[in-house]
Structure 1
Amino acid sequence: MANISERSPDEAVLVLPETAEQRKDLNFCQACSVRNRAICADLDDHEVELLNGIGRRRHLDPGETLLWEGEEAIFVANVVSGVMKLSTQTSDGREQILGLAYPSDFIGRPFTETSPYSVEALGEAVVCIFRRLDFERFVHEHARLEHKLLERTLSELDKTRRWMLLLGRFNAEERLATLLLEVASRNTLPIDGNAGQFDDEQFELPMSRQQIADVLGLTIETVSRQFTKFRDEGVIMISGRRTITILRRDVLEALAT
């Protein structure tokens, strides 16, 4: 399977598959679990085949960085599985998490030479990766993909505006409720015994309490108190370290509106 060397992003190169086993991944588009929801959803079979020819599948380990803020934007990608963290560095060197990318989300910035943020895998992840220049040429030649890319860009702009409202107007309880509903809608767990069905009320938190605090602009102590409050009031159930079950969705939705 293709991978990328561990050199700095401006030196990184795409390593083509060498073995028969590795070459099997070149047909990954046909079996992609997010094809109907990803940016390539509107492409016909021939166009998907052409896109497959310039893409590679890459597996990421927890904490592995795909893009670096301020470095040359060599790649763009679709998230196939796992959750990615988008972040920037503040002037005093602290990390600020800008958002999360879930399966079917598009990451990277076509038509821009440098990356405006860093992208890191929170856990194990798989991405469908393209050289930015190859992807840009493909977009210019396929109007449906260009239209889909514009739709995704406008959707991201709307999400950013909603997030600004959340950080500017919502209190700690409302912020956490909003985040829990967002993660629940994008990161559900399979129902026991049936990997093809998902429980939309149970999910795995893709972040630590500290990372949640960074995302929401709160302290870790405040986040912990809000989790305890929701648990004690029967709004959620917490299993293990990060498994959340929503028991009172109506309460969270009332807080998030």
Structure 2
Amino acid sequence: MSSAQLAELNKHSTRRKVEAGNEVIGQGENVGSYSNILNGVVKLSKMMADGRQQIVGLQFAPDFLGRPFLTESSVTAEAATETEICCFPRPIIDRMVGEAPELERKLHSQSLKELDEARDWMLTLGRKTAQEKVASFLYLIATHIDPERSGNSTTFDLPLSRADIADFLGLTIETVSRQMTKLRKDNIIVIENNRHVIVPEMRRLRYAAGND
């Protein structure tokens, strides 16, 4: 993007902090702005007409929240952790997508990445064992929650409750707890204070997730 386009984006941008549990936007709401996640985790969910709800995805920094030219949100986006986002008015982004090929490519690249991840997650939900599902979830968090992460070990706080993890994986809460206990006993993870996870060797967690 040109310096003038970057300056215009910066001029119209606003930073916003969203407490855990609060919505960024609700399903069916008019889209007035788009956002870049600066830090934190955002939970995406869809609700059926009878009130049943399903978590359909997670987004992390530096993901872009929203779809250009879409006037109504197809999902509910809720801060799973304390989250900071940078917001841009929808008309500005919609116009600049047509004017700045670099921005269009960036958004297109993210859409393709999300499509690939959705296909991988279909495999996780459809074919993996309960232990592989829980390990896959932990590996997803471990590899996405900190964009600056490097090395073969990592640590993080679980961004979802056991109930939300169970919903996301299509398992019961009891099964999630049992599989986490098994991963802990196998020394693949260390759990402190029920939410803080230490992964001594990412390679072992990846293997437990069934990823080659």
TM-score, normalised on structure 1?
0.76
SS in 2 for 1:202: strand
Counterpart of 1:64, as a letter, is N
What is the match of residue 197 of structure 2?
Answer: 244
Deviations 1:174-220 (A, max 9, x none): 11111111111122499xxxxx9998421111111111111111110
Structure 1 49/198 Cα, relative in aligned 2: closer, same or farther at 3 Å?
farther
Structure 1 162/197 Cα, relative in aligned 2: closer, same or farther at 3 Å?
closer
Once the two structures are superposed, the pairs formed by residues 158-177 of structure 1 within 5 Å of their partners are: 158-177=116-135
TM-score, normalised on structure 2?
0.91
Relative contact order (C-alpha < 8 Å, sep 6+): which is higher?
2
Counterpart of 1:152, as a letter, is Q
Check the 8 A contact 2:152/2:202 in 1, yes or no: no
What is the match of residue 18 of structure 2?
Answer: 60
Structure 1 149/50 Cα, relative in aligned 2: closer, same or farther at 3 Å?
same
SS in 1 for 2:21: coil
Counterpart Cα distance in 2 of 1:167 and 1:140:
37
Structure 1 140/167 Cα, relative in aligned 2: closer, same or farther at 3 Å?
same
SS in 2 for 1:46: helix
Counterpart Cα distance in 1 of 2:147 and 2:88:
28
Q: Is the radius of gyration larger for structure 1 or structure 2?
A: 1
Query: 1:201 aligned to 154, 166, 187, which one?
Result: 154
- For structure 2, which runs of at least 5 residues remain unmatched after alignment? none
Structure 1 135/200 Cα, relative in aligned 2: closer, same or farther at 3 Å?
farther
Structure 1 81/65 Cα, relative in aligned 2: closer, same or farther at 3 Å?
same
What is the match of residue 37 of structure 1?
Answer: none
What is the match of residue 72 of structure 1?
Answer: 30
The farther-off stretch of 225-234 and 197-206 is 197-206
Deviations 1:44-91 (A, max 9, x none): 543321211222111111211111112212221100011111111134
SS in 2 for 1:120: strand
Counterpart Cα distance in 2 of 1:207 and 1:244:
12
Aligned residues: 210
What is the match of residue 153 of structure 1?
Answer: 111
What is the match of residue 231 of structure 1?
Answer: 184
Counterpart Cα distance in 2 of 1:86 and 1:226:
24
Counterpart Cα distance in 1 of 2:115 and 2:156:
26
SS in 1 for 2:34: strand
- For structure 1, which runs of at least 5 residues remain unmatched after alignment? 1-42, 191-195
Seq. identity, %: 40
Q: Does 1:216 align with 2:169?
A: yes
Structure 1 74/200 Cα, relative in aligned 2: closer, same or farther at 3 Å?
farther
Once the two structures are superposed, the pairs formed by residues 135-146 of structure 1 within 5 Å of their partners are: 135-146=93-104
Counterpart Cα distance in 1 of 2:119 and 2:81:
27
Counterpart Cα distance in 2 of 1:252 and 1:151:
27
Check the 8 A contact 2:156/2:198 in 1, yes or no: yes
Counterpart Cα distance in 1 of 2:150 and 2:110:
27
Measured after TM superposition, the shift of residue 255 of structure 1 is 2.9
Check the 8 A contact 1:140/1:146 in 2, yes or no: yes
